[in-house]
Structure 1
Amino acid sequence: MPSLDFLLTSAVVVVTPGAGVLFTVSTGLAQGRLAAAYASLGCTLGIVPHMAATAMGLAAVMHAGALAFQLLKLAGVLYLLYLAWATWRDRSAFAADPAAPTRSPLRLMGKAVLLNALNPKLTLFFFAFLPQFMDPADPAPMRQFAALSAVFMVMTLGVFVVYGVLADAFRQRVLASPRTQNALRRGFSAAFALMAAKLAASER
């Protein structure tokens, strides 16, 4: 059973806005709650490679290998810049049209998975975070690690879905204004670009 400290700490981590939250909210605003749910699922699945890396000890290699970290960081920066450019370019992104078809769920999930999978800070985060809440006397540490990871992923999915639902509610009330649509498009584009700059400037 996860400790209360683990649940509270995980909740703070998950609720804190980051690239995944930004992508989910922008998707909810542009395409509605169903699309936001797909984005939430993709962001959650994007955690799996980092969990696997931590479980296999690859996080230690990442921590020691500056080149591996820098290459993955570069890929993450470029992908965030691509999202900034694509959001800026798509003038219909936040046009409220209830009759418009939802974009491909697989495409949405794929973009969300890449967004989190290409963030090297997540591997190092889990390498430092999860062991703090594991019992060193547990005879099955991998089972304990898997259980904590599963709880964290469920919390991530739940919180991101809530973000998406709130974004959809905002969309229904406000996005009839072209001025608001343009402001949101530019704002989210700038936010993705700023996150790319933050990741590029980050140290281990």
Structure 2
Amino acid sequence: MISAQFLLTALVVVLAPGTGVVYTLMMSLGQGRRAALPAALGCTFGIVPHLLAAILGVAALLHSSAVLFQIVRFAGIAYLLYLAWQAVRRGGALNIGAERGDNGFFRIAARGALINILNPKLSIFFLALLPPFLSGNPATATSEMGLLGAVFMALTFAVFLGYGLFAAAARDRLLTSARAMAWLNRGFAAAFAGLGLRLALEKA
């Protein structure tokens, strides 16, 4: 069940750059080490609804219902575009180098959670990822999926926190250059917009 193959597969998936990684890097660059923990924590807990959906079979319903899938998808697209705007707007909540007094622990974590909650592909992803690693015993399938999901979440948190601490370590050097900050904000905004576009082009 929890095999080396599963751990390697999960690690490769978690390491791949996505919305959660981009968000964690951005918050850690903007606010330092104190933002790395809530960003990683929020992105990790944003996985929970999708994991539960996969375990309970709701993911199959989401995949089969075009209307439900589109509602969640367009909400996710709108949120990613909002984050892109917040990255480039002077004084925006995600703008690196701007004053961000409202970005407390809860706000940072809540944004990270929403990024994953509003991605309908995650439910379908877990429905595809976890079953191949089950023992094949129907009586323990639910508990096994829960355990595999918990391991995946632990890996997600550890990797994202690592990304965040790495970004925080580079923060002082990067923030001394106004030009670097401007390009970072544009780059992160482009990343969020690009991820939103990719989500818009995907089909259920």
Identity %: 45
Give the AA of the match of 1:129.
L
- Higher mean C-alpha deviation, range 155-164 or range 134-143: 134-143
Per the normalisation by structure 1, the TM-score is 0.94
**Aligned-residue offset at 1:95:** 2.0
**Aligned-residue offset at 1:174:** 2.2
Specify the alignment match of 1:104 in structure 2. 104
Specify the alignment match of 1:129 in structure 2. 129
In structure 1, runs of 5+ residues without a counterpart are none
**Aligned-residue offset at 1:91:** 4.7
Pair 87,161 (structure 1): closer, same or farther in 2 beyond 3 Å: same
Specify the alignment match of 1:90 in structure 2. 90
Distance 1:90 1:101 in 2: 14
Pair 74,163 (structure 1): closer, same or farther in 2 beyond 3 Å: same
Give the AA of the match of 2:84.
A
Distance 1:67 1:103 in 2: 34
Aligned 8 A contact 2:87 2:96 in 1:
no
**Aligned-residue offset at 1:96:** 8.6
Specify the alignment match of 1:9 in structure 2. 9
Specify the alignment match of 2:80 in structure 1. 80
Specify the alignment match of 1:18 in structure 2. 18
Distance 2:36 2:142 in 1: 32
Aligned 8 A contact 2:130 2:145 in 1:
yes
- Higher mean C-alpha deviation, range 27-36 or range 71-80: 27-36
Aligned 8 A contact 1:91 1:185 in 2:
no
Give the AA of the match of 1:22.
V
Give the AA of the match of 1:69.
F
Specify the alignment match of 2:70 in structure 1. 70
For the pair 1:181 / 2:157, whether they are aligned, the reply is: no
Which 4+ stretches in 1 moved above 6 angstroms? Answer: none
Give the AA of the match of 1:18.
G
C-alpha root-mean-square deviation of aligned residues, in Å? 1.7
Give CA-to-partner distance per residue, 1:15-64, whole Å, 9 cap, x none: 00000000000001001122121000000000000011111110111111
Give the AA of the match of 2:97.
A
SS in 2 for 1:135: coil
Give the AA of the match of 1:162.
G
Give the AA of the match of 1:89.
R
Per the normalisation by structure 2, the TM-score is 0.94
Aligned 8 A contact 2:29 2:168 in 1:
yes
Give the AA of the match of 1:131.
P
- 1:135-174 aligned at under 5 Å gives the runs 135-137=135-137, 139-174=139-174
Distance 1:24 1:134 in 2: 31
SS in 1 for 2:69: helix
